[in-house]
Amino acid sequence: MAERVIPLIDQRIAALASAVPTHAIPTTGLLSDALGRPLRDLRISVTDRCNFRCSYCMPKEVFDTDHQYLPHSDLLTFEEITRVARQFVAHGVRKIRLTGGEPLLRKNIEVLIGQLAALRTPDGDALDITLTTNGSLLARKAQALKAAGLQRVTVSLDGLDDAVFRGMNDVDFPVAEVLKGIEAARRAGLGPIKVNMVVKRGTNEHEILPMARHFKGTDVVARFIEYMDVGATNGWRMDEVLPSAEVIELIGSQLPLVQLSRSAAGETAQRWGYADGSGEIGVISSVTQAFCGDCNRARLSTEGRLYLCLFATQGHDLRSLIRGGAGDDQLASAIGHIWQGRSDRYSQLRSSLAPDSTAGAKRVEMSYIGG
């Protein structure tokens, strides 16, 4: 196996200045980007910290005890997050997902959830408020999250075998505690719960069938995600990607499957149901079957930078507007201007890009803007 070099770089440095456009962009809820894709989904990172050190996200070689996290004063406050989220909702966002890092590490996260849950669309509808977590703190927080207004959770779980799971989170955290968190979320009504497993060939593909069997017959949806080339610190290689087609073939050979229709426009997962009606699974194929064509997601980093793609190299600095005295209409116009210019479709172009075409581009890390 070739030696792997993991660059020690700070992905937070690249940012584009955001400005209020000359002509106001009205908040009609019909905003589209340069490829005609609407804005419907906002993912908000509330912290750049995590208590796991998964190799595909925050490898310990890079995020060690000397790693410098953002100072608290750089983070958007809950009020600032809610203010900018309100402008996104006016432009058409209907779903907000809180991510990290590990979002449950953000102190008093329930307060932010309550503020976001109070937002309404121009038609008066409530938003779909969700959160992605590694599950380590979920057992103790599930009831409070639900009471604050959270509707659903997605839990990252890369294997049921305790040794495999401890090895992948690289902090020796037991799988039993995550399973307790999932059960607590079910009891609290934070469902339907989705459990995401990043599949890395040579590491945990033998956990695919146990994961499918474990959640079959429950209301929990297990989803299998192709190992992605997000950021620059995870040492991604194509030979470690297990295509989703092979995942479906493997599961279907033991547990017959039928394909289901997508649950919503822009949905990243392909849905498959068990032929006996005992639940469903999903696969997310961002490497082998790009879904850029109807991607409707924007990402807001923990210190207020707007990213238009999971594989972006630069963000747009909204914090300077938020803290620089811009009014709500001005902030909304700036967001609208940025989205209207969006043409990102990295996954569709990946196979056609020259190997060194992005050599100087430092893609943002998954731990910084969420998955």
CA torsion angle 251 252 258 262 (round to 10):
30
Asked, for residue 10, whether it belongs to a domain, the answer is no
Domains in the chain, number: 1
Q: Tell me whether residue 8 is in a domain.
A: no
Instruction: Going residue by residue through the chain, which has 371 residues, state the pLDDT in tens, using 9 for 90 and above.
Output: 444 444 434 445 557 888 888 889 999 999 999 999 999 999 999 999 999 998 878 889 889 888 999 999 999 999 999 999 999 999 999 999 999 999 999 999 999 999 999 999 999 999 999 999 999 999 999 999 999 999 999 999 999 999 999 999 999 999 999 999 999 999 999 999 999 999 999 889 999 999 999 999 999 999 999 987 655 555 557 878 899 999 999 999 999 999 998 877 767 889 999 999 999 999 998 888 777 888 999 999 999 999 998 878 789 999 999 999 999 999 999 999 999 999 987 666 665 554 444 444 565 666 666 66
C-alpha distances in angstroms, 64 versus 102, 235, 280, 302, 350?
16, 16, 38, 20, 30
Is 4 within a domain? no
Residue 3 lies in a domain: no
Which ranges of the chain would DSSP assign to H, the alpha helix? 78-90, 109-117, 138-148, 162-169, 175-188, 208-215, 244-254, 319-322, 328-340, 346-349, 366-369
2, part of any domain: no
**118 assigned to some structural domain:** yes
Which residue(s) pair with 30 in the sheet? none
Print the domain residue range for 250: 15-369
- In the DSSP assignment, the letter for residue 305 is E
Can you tell me the distance from the alpha carbon of 312 to that of 310, in angstroms, rounded to the nearest whole number?
6
Q: Are 338 and 306 in contact (CB under 8 A)?
A: yes
Q: Is residue 287 part of a domain?
A: yes
Residue 6 counted as domain residue: no
Residues with Cβ < 8 Å from 298, sequence gap 6 or more? 39, 41, 42, 43, 88, 93, 306, 307, 308, 339
- Whole-model pTM: value is 0.89
Q: Are 211 and 159 within 8 A, CB to CB?
A: yes
Q: Tell me, what CATH number does 253's domain have?
A: 3.20.20.70
279-285-286-291 Cα dihedral, nearest 10 degrees: -80
DSSP output for 126-177: BPEEEEEE-STTHHHHHHHHHHHT--EEEEE---SSHHHHHHHHSS---HHH
